Chains A and B, each alone.
With several copies, the nearest count.
Chain A
């Protein structure tokens, strides 16, 4: 059944629609795919830290997943997709609070898919964005503080930004300013997800300060097979993220899947080419990083490019990000796992690059500078990207600062040196020795000891 809805919001003026089983099937799967990006990211990040911090790294993603899902259900979805309460800045926070309203009504007659499914799909975008931020503060954040940060950030940063970017006006529903007034094109979240996570990450990295030994001690990835596996799961999940954003199982979704595949491939090749020429070796971490860079850049532009455009966009992102990750050593901020270098920079490449490479033959129907569209779209992209960057950076920084003052965001230096897994989670990730277990005494279930964490 051909697609009957316009992307990405329900088309209010369309005839009353029944739920379409094909579209619903695809959205069910796409939602599951985006969920899978969470463990994918946990592995991608977890493999990149030292073995003494891998569990904490994974826990920041799993923790974010749990917290965001709850907060999103309670209030986040309403802020993002409720009727605008003024100026396109914020949705009505009470409109869908708790999501009970969506339990019975399958469709509002304007969508070919169940609205509650849309709410979950969008909620998982928030999860991924939050989890991405954690890459900047590896090895040194108190877990409780992180959980509190994520809750506040969901309400104050992500949900408003999602309203701006993803909430299209339709019928009597009024949405956000970037989507409807500015005319920003961001198919699957180059601004709301990538730039937002990168800018928030930079703010947090500054609030927490660098790891003990940053730039001096080696902090090389402890398990690159996890990184590669994580990258693979991310690519797989990204199909749901991007092509799911078409909100239909139609030709447009197919085009989006295509550009997502192509940009991942050339992102990989672009980064590897830089490494080969600059360092003499093409590394596996480079392949994984380039892949993600390409995917980041195609996220906003996946519905606006031709196959050739997607190949170019991916390659561009791969090359630019390969250089951008070196910045932190020069500027001295410890963005531990390069959220800025990959997601902020890659997000900017994709969001602005769309202004150049977009072709109206693609689903979003917009022409960029190189396709005769002039500077018009580029201007809109600059406004959208810039606004999200500044807002996310400032508000995340404030939240981080407040959390730090209230409860302390960072663990002790001693604990950091010992290893955060041990101190905060009372666990170590691996015990692979032939003599495993031979070296400790047995389980004991009694009076708990409360240490730091």
Chain B
């Protein structure tokens, strides 16, 4: 099993979700995060004082998948999330030693 983690632009979430659905992914965990990178933040002004906001809003998606499906899943994310402009985000893959479905106690491939 692997854990695929993707950090994407918020307004691409719906596209990524659909691409993943097409790739057979039925479950995932999503969170709101902030990104720091080439894509710069913005400046806000309050009573003439300027504030540099260096972080930009992103969405992180985590998906536990069978080893066999990793390539397809990463591919789906790339397709869904790409705009070609700076800040499209990253996908990374980490090894998973085990996965459990809490409701049933099912393990690993049965658990996702």
A and B touch in the complex (CB under 8 A): yes
Shortest beta-carbon distance from B67 to chain A in Å: 29
Q: Does A405 reach chain B (CB closer than 8 Å)?
A: no
Interface of A is mostly: loop
Query: Are the CB atoms of B46 and A220 closer together than 8 Å?
Result: yes
Q: Enumerate chain B interface residues (CB-CB to A < 8 A).
A: 10-11, 13-14, 30, 32, 34, 41-55, 57, 59
Query: Are the CB atoms of B47 and A338 closer together than 8 Å?
Result: yes
Query: Are the CB atoms of B44 and A444 closer together than 8 Å?
Result: no
CB neighbours of B32 from chain A (8 A): 433-435
In the A-B complex, the 3 residue pairs with the smallest Cβ-Cβ separation, listed nearest first, are A443-B49, A434-B57, A435-B10
Q: Does A46 reach chain B (CB closer than 8 Å)?
A: no
Shortest beta-carbon distance from B37 to chain A in Å: 14
Q: Does A426 reach chain B (CB closer than 8 Å)?
A: yes
Q: Enumerate chain A interface residues (CB-CB to B < 8 A).
A: 217-218, 220-221, 275, 278-279, 281, 283, 285-286, 289, 322, 325-326, 329, 338, 417, 422, 426-428, 433-435, 438-446, 448-449
Query: Are the CB atoms of A279 and B48 closer together than 8 Å?
Result: yes
> How many interface contacts (CB-CB < 8 Å) are there between A and B?
86
Residue with the highest number of chain A CB atoms closer than 10 Å, among B30, B48, B54: B48
Shortest beta-carbon distance from A131 to chain B in Å: 20
A278, A439, A443, A449: the one contacting B53 at CB < 8 Å is A439
A217, A221, A422, A446: the one contacting B50 at CB < 8 Å is A446
Docked pose: A384 CA to B111 CA in angstroms: 67
Nearest-neighbor residue (CB-CB) of A326 within chain B = B48
Docked pose: A325 CA to B42 CA in angstroms: 23
Nearest-neighbor residue (CB-CB) of B41 within chain A = A440
Query: Are the CB atoms of B44 and A428 closer together than 8 Å?
Result: yes
Residue with the highest number of chain B CB atoms closer than 10 Å, among A220, A433, A438, A444: A438
Residue with the highest number of chain A CB atoms closer than 10 Å, among B11, B49, B54, B55: B49
Docked pose: A322 CA to B46 CA in angstroms: 11
Nearest-neighbor residue (CB-CB) of B85 within chain A = A414
B11, B47, B50: the one contacting A289 at CB < 8 Å is B47
A329, A443, A446: the one contacting B51 at CB < 8 Å is A443
